[in-house]
Structure 1
Amino acid sequence: MCYLLIGNISALMSDDCMEPLVNARLRVYLPDGQYPKRNNPKTDIFYGPGQLTKAQVDAKRDRLLAEARLDERGNFRLTWEQLHLFTEPLELDICIHHMPEQADIRGLETNYHLSTVIPQWTRSGQRYVAAYAYIIPVESWNQIRANYGTWVIAGTVRRLHTREGQTQLRLEAYNAGNHRLLGCARTDEQGRYQLRFSKKELTSSLMLVGEPREQLGPDIYFKVYRDKQLIWEEDPRTAMMPGRKSVAPCSTININIRESTFRKISGYVPGWLSNWAVAGRKSSLVDH
């Protein structure tokens, strides 16, 4: 008899924003008869994953039943052959090699126990099918991202007064410590964005792979562009405010802009002001 387990593994970046575990590996193990009391198929989704040591992973290698890589949406399909119907729990673990924004994928490999569950198998033709989903809580995902020295910032760009989400804008995030560009992102049709960067974008090693969560993140401020035109620039001192100083690996930052407000930067002149200046010069020449 063939068994098919399908589902999704994702992580919370904020209360209303998730990201998939791209290219992580999901492993399913036969049970060993010892199940943690807290593991319950109906409540396990509310617990964070428990990190496993290399020795713990090696100890259960002989019980490995199936393994699959998660796709770009965090979806997976696991199949295996078995002679009898499973009525006992299965152990599900996840193996993470690197984060998507890391250029060097030869990084730290970490393993986590997700849950011990009894799938609700349904017979479909010559196979049994079940589904499973797991969402990593934001607190746990913060810690995991901290171990890899990576950040993801999500939010919405809105007009200050209308509160409408602004589409097709480009955001640039800067490190206030050295004014170095950390990363770029574009807003979608609702004005939402996701911006990612790693410790390689920082000139100093604020966080090293494997170091504890207490390491500090960068202090950041933003610039917002429509096409190539700068429409909003924050004062770098904004980076000293709460929510911008030492940003956590998973952060939510919403930006409210007033497009009528411009700051003079590097000889930049807003389009309407430039047109006014040209028209003024033409009028002066005609009068003369």
Structure 2
Amino acid sequence: MSYLLIGNISALICNDCIEPLANARIRIYLPDNRYQEEPQANGIFNDMKPLSAKEVLMKADRLLAETSLDEKGNFCLSWEEVHLFTEPLELDLCLDQMPGRNGSRQPRNFHLSKLVLHWKRNSNGYVGAYAYVIPAVTWHNIYSHAGAWVITGVVKNHLGGEGQPHLKVEAYNALTGRLLGRAATNEEGRYYLHFSRQQLGRGMGPVIIPGRKNLGPDVYFKVYKNDLLLWEEDERISQSRERRDVAPCSNINIIYRPSRVRRASSQIGNWFSEMITLTVIRKKKSDKYRLLTSPSLF
């Protein structure tokens, strides 16, 4: 008898933004008949439980199937079994690396659920579905322990409207002036920007200010369109409450206002430079003429 389980596993960065768990692994285990435990309540917000390497090893003989999640957090598992499952199955999650491939790289194992799946019969066997969304507080703690950060938000024009797609967003550490990371906005104008603790110092050691809760940087942004600078924030904005000591999971929306004054100043500066250049060139020509006609040379 063939079984197929499809589903998705994601995490809440904030209350209105979900991050897919790309490249994570999901495992399904047969029930342990030695212990009679009550199944956990069904739902997508069940409490996650960290698992030690020993606990994972002790249940290896009950492993039924395992697979990796795709870039959107989707998975598809199949296996053969001779009877219909009416008992609960165990579902675990393994994070070998954080999304964005940042932070410390090590296996992080979690127990997701123990539940009875609802199977539906089709021509090929039985099909079930499962979805899990990691709560924001739990995801925040996982990021923190990994020494990693994710900043997300929507980039909009100050005139209003929807988010702006196909823009490049760069985040800078105001404490060092160095680039933390860059990301592109999707069709909805949302960006996902990842960086790790190692990037806070970039070769000079992490810059940490004592007393900070998150040990995070103060950030400001630059926005590019077609590799041309569209908007550059004043570094002083990094001292605002939203931008100081950013949390491991942060939502920061960017409202950009292309500056005509800055462009005009730039044009004036270029014109002034050109005038100086022309003046110097003319002066050199006149000097050369005076040199050739000087009476002292004859």
Structure-2 separation of matches of 1:95 and 1:51: 10
With normalisation by structure 2, the TM-score equals 0.80
CA shift at 1:277, angstroms?
A: 4.5
**1:51-78 Cα deviation digits (max 9, x unpaired):** 1112221221121111111122211121
Q: List gaps (5 residues or longer) in structure 1.
A: 208-212, 264-268, 282-288
Match of 1:284 in 2: none
1:123-272 aligned at under 5 Å gives the runs 123-203=121-201, 204-205=205-206, 215-260=214-259, 269=263
User: Using a 3 Å threshold, how does the CA distance of structure 1 residues 6 and 195 change in structure 2: closer, same or farther?
Assistant: same
Aligned to 2:191, the other structure's residue is in SS state strand
Is the CA contact 2:39–2:115 (under 8 Å) kept in the aligned structure 1? Answer: no
User: Using a 3 Å threshold, how does the CA distance of structure 1 residues 202 and 272 change in structure 2: closer, same or farther?
Assistant: closer
Q: Which one has the bigger helix percentage?
A: 2
Structure-1 separation of matches of 2:109 and 2:60: 13
Is the CA contact 2:166–2:185 (under 8 Å) kept in the aligned structure 1? Answer: yes
1:72-151 aligned at under 5 Å gives the runs 72-102=71-101, 107-151=105-149
Q: Which amino acid aligns with 1:18?
A: I
Q: Which amino acid aligns with 2:156?
A: R
Q: Which amino acid aligns with 2:241?
A: P
User: Using a 3 Å threshold, how does the CA distance of structure 1 residues 198 and 35 change in structure 2: closer, same or farther?
Assistant: farther
Is the CA contact 2:102–2:148 (under 8 Å) kept in the aligned structure 1? Answer: no
Structure-2 separation of matches of 1:167 and 1:69: 29
With normalisation by structure 1, the TM-score equals 0.83
Structure-1 separation of matches of 2:30 and 2:91: 9
Structure-1 separation of matches of 2:27 and 2:113: 11
Structure-1 separation of matches of 2:14 and 2:69: 21
Aligned to 2:238, the other structure's residue is in SS state helix
Match of 1:266 in 2: none
Q: Which structure: larger Rg? A: 2
Structure-2 separation of matches of 1:173 and 1:35: 51
Structure-1 separation of matches of 2:37 and 2:12: 24
Q: Which amino acid aligns with 1:17?
A: C
Match of 2:21 in 1: 21
User: Using a 3 Å threshold, how does the CA distance of structure 1 residues 97 and 206 change in structure 2: closer, same or farther?
Assistant: farther
CA shift at 1:21, angstroms?
A: 1.2
**1:193-219 Cα deviation digits (max 9, x unpaired):** 221222232213479xxxxx9551111
Is the CA contact 1:3–1:127 (under 8 Å) kept in the aligned structure 2? Answer: yes
Is the CA contact 1:231–1:262 (under 8 Å) kept in the aligned structure 2? Answer: no
Q: Which amino acid aligns with 2:132?
A: Y
Aligned to 1:57, the other structure's residue is in SS state helix
- Number of residues paired by the alignment? 269
Match of 1:39 in 2: 40
Structure-2 separation of matches of 1:270 and 1:228: 20
**1:129-175 Cα deviation digits (max 9, x unpaired):** 11111111111111112222222111111222434433332211000
RMSD: 3.0
Do structure 1's residue 30 and structure 2's residue 26 form an aligned pair?
no
Q: Percent identity?
A: 49
User: Using a 3 Å threshold, how does the CA distance of structure 1 residues 224 and 60 change in structure 2: closer, same or farther?
Assistant: same
Structure-2 separation of matches of 1:129 and 1:28: 15
Is the CA contact 1:232–1:262 (under 8 Å) kept in the aligned structure 2? Answer: no
Q: Which amino acid aligns with 1:39?
A: Q
Q: Which amino acid aligns with 2:18?
A: M
